[in-house]
Amino acid sequence: MLEIAIKGSKKYWLWIALLLAVMGAGAIAYADQFLNGLVITGMSRDVSWGFYIANFTFLVGVAAGGVMVVIPYYLHDYERFHRITILGEFLAVACLVMCLLFIVVDLGQPIRMLNVLLYPTPHSMLFWDMIVLNGYLFLNIVVGWKVLEAERNQIEPVWWTKPLVYLSIPFAIGIHTVTAYLYCGLPGRGYWLTAILAPRFLASAFAAGPAFLIILCYIIKKFTKFDPGWEAMQTLSKIVCYAIIANLFFFACEVFVVYYSGIPGHLSHMQYLLFGLHGHNMMVPWMWSALILMGLGAIFLLIPKLRNNRALLPVTCAMIFFGAWIDKALGMIAGGFVPSPLHHVNEYAPTLQEGIIAMGVYGAGFFVLTILYKLATTVKEEVRG
């Protein structure tokens, strides 16, 4: 089936070349980091996780969001998602590849990363995160591939894909729950120490993942002969709508608890994000933009006339996607580490090189996504035509 990927239009090859260039730039920047250490990043003793882990956290969410097409189709026989289920699964694969790459580029000693397997440590949440991420990646590759292959041959998928699909549902919930547990089980980090972190992560994932899928559907419709179906996109947009409202509601719950209780160790982080602390306010414009983007996006999706507007829908989805990215990637890291456990306020901003390495990882993810989507759309074109 892979032979499909090496037959394409000029535009396809131009896009592939662009991605390879971005990956190349990232690889060169990473080679320097590999040799000289994470000194090239903007991270510090106080803010010891940065842009890499921020993007990792967000992309775990986008990967988990894929389950929002799997559940309706496989559990509720929602036929309209028949065409896009594979897109959700392949999006998850690309996102998980990026997640794993972000973890690797964040390690101080990447050569030793197999130590996590050599010395399995069940009391570390990172151990479980590794298991669920790789498990979910494996499940999505196998299921996506087998189902697509069956579709191409116009036969029923082999029987054992069904149990794997059902297994992938708890795994999708699992990857984002365990990723939240990385944060919310730590003492002394007031912004993260909240039981609603995992639900909040899931809500934002179920908004950002499908929102991105809708944008991808637009792109597919424009560049291929495959039509994912307007009705499926409409259903997806309703899912995004309720998920983003849940996310905003959970955030409001956090704000209430923090400000009404007034406990300094919890309050100061939220204060830093929303209003600035002791004159440090780098995150303030970002956080308010995130809230406005997500809030407006929710309103646009709630009103049927605006939701049904074909021109507005991708814009709304982009707003929600970037709003969630700021909130969960940048805000989660900055809010957790600033102020420090000793209440020093040291801010963090990624360096250019750190950004290039991150772009390289995104390039690799889009490369995987492009290849997989090329396979999926071509097969679907073949079968229909």
Cβ 30 vs Cβ 360: under 8 Å: yes
Tokens 């998602």 sit at which residue?
Answer: 81
User: Please, which residue, 37 or 304, has the CB nearer to other proteins?
Assistant: 37
At 306, the amino acid letter reads L
User: Please, which residue, 36 or 154, has the CB nearer to other proteins?
Assistant: 36
Contacts to other proteins from residues 313-342, by CB under 8 A = 336-337, 340-342
Tokens 């409202």 sit at which residue?
Answer: 245
Report in angstroms how near the CB of residue 50 gets to other proteins at its nearest.
Answer: 10
DSSP letter string, 11-33: HHHHHHHHHHHHHHHHHHHHHHH
Report in angstroms how near the CB of residue 123 gets to other proteins at its nearest.
Answer: 5
Which H helix or E strand runs over 119? none
User: Please, which residue, 98 or 319, has the CB nearer to other proteins?
Assistant: 98
Give the burial string for 238-277 (b: 16+ CB within 10 Å, else e). Answer: ebbbebbbbbbebbeebeeebeeeeeeebbbbbbbbbeeb
User: Please, which residue, 89 or 347, has the CB nearer to other proteins?
Assistant: 347
Which residues lie across from 277 on neighbouring strands? Answer: 280
Neighbours of 155 (CB within 10 A): 9
Contacts to other proteins from residues 166-195, by CB under 8 A = 182-183, 186-189
Contacts to other proteins from residues 65-104, by CB under 8 A = 103
**How big is the site for other proteins, counted in residues (CB under 8 A)?**
49
Report in angstroms how near the CB of residue 333 gets to other proteins at its nearest.
Answer: 10
Distance between CA atoms of residues 134 and 97, nearest Å: 9
> Which value, to the nearest 10 degrees, does the dihedral of the CA atoms of residues 308, 309, 310, 311 take?
-160
User: Please, which residue, 2 or 118, has the CB nearer to other proteins?
Assistant: 118
Binding of residue 266 to other proteins (CB under 8 A): no
CA distances from 217 to 16, 72, 85 (A): 19, 18, 12
Contacts to other proteins from residues 28-67, by CB under 8 A = 36-49
Distance between CA atoms of residues 273 and 285, nearest Å: 9
Report in angstroms how near the CB of residue 73 gets to other proteins at its nearest.
Answer: 35
Per DSSP, helices labelled H in the chain are: 10-36, 51-65, 67-70, 76, 85-106, 115-118, 125-152, 161-184, 197-223, 230-261, 264-274, 284-302, 304-307, 312-325, 331-337, 352-384
User: 39: which 2 tokens?
Assistant: 């000194």
Nearest Cα neighbor of 122 from 133, 131, 112, 114 is 131
Interaction pattern, residues 281-320, with other proteins; x per rule: CB under 8 A: ----------------------------------------
Report in angstroms how near the CB of residue 171 gets to other proteins at its nearest.
Answer: 20
Report in angstroms how near the CB of residue 41 gets to other proteins at its nearest.
Answer: 8
Contacts to other proteins from residues 107-146, by CB under 8 A = 107-110, 112-113, 115-116, 118-119, 121, 123-127, 130
User: Please, which residue, 285 or 341, has the CB nearer to other proteins?
Assistant: 341
User: Please, which residue, 124 or 309, has the CB nearer to other proteins?
Assistant: 124
User: Please, which residue, 43 or 358, has the CB nearer to other proteins?
Assistant: 43
Cβ 143 vs Cβ 168: under 8 Å: yes
User: Please, which residue, 339 or 365, has the CB nearer to other proteins?
Assistant: 339
Report in angstroms how near the CB of residue 37 gets to other proteins at its nearest.
Answer: 4
User: Please, which residue, 272 or 337, has the CB nearer to other proteins?
Assistant: 337
Distance between CA atoms of residues 114 and 276, nearest Å: 40
Give the burial string for 183-193 (b: 16+ CB within 10 Å, else e). Answer: bbeeeebbbbb
Select from 135, 265, 295, 314 the one that contacts other proteins (CB under 8 A). Answer: 265
Interaction pattern, residues 220-259, with other proteins; x per rule: CB under 8 A: ----------------------------------------
Rule CB under 8 A: which residues touch other proteins?
Answer: 36-49, 103, 106-110, 112-113, 115-116, 118-119, 121, 123-127, 130, 182-183, 186-189, 264-265, 336-337, 340-344, 346
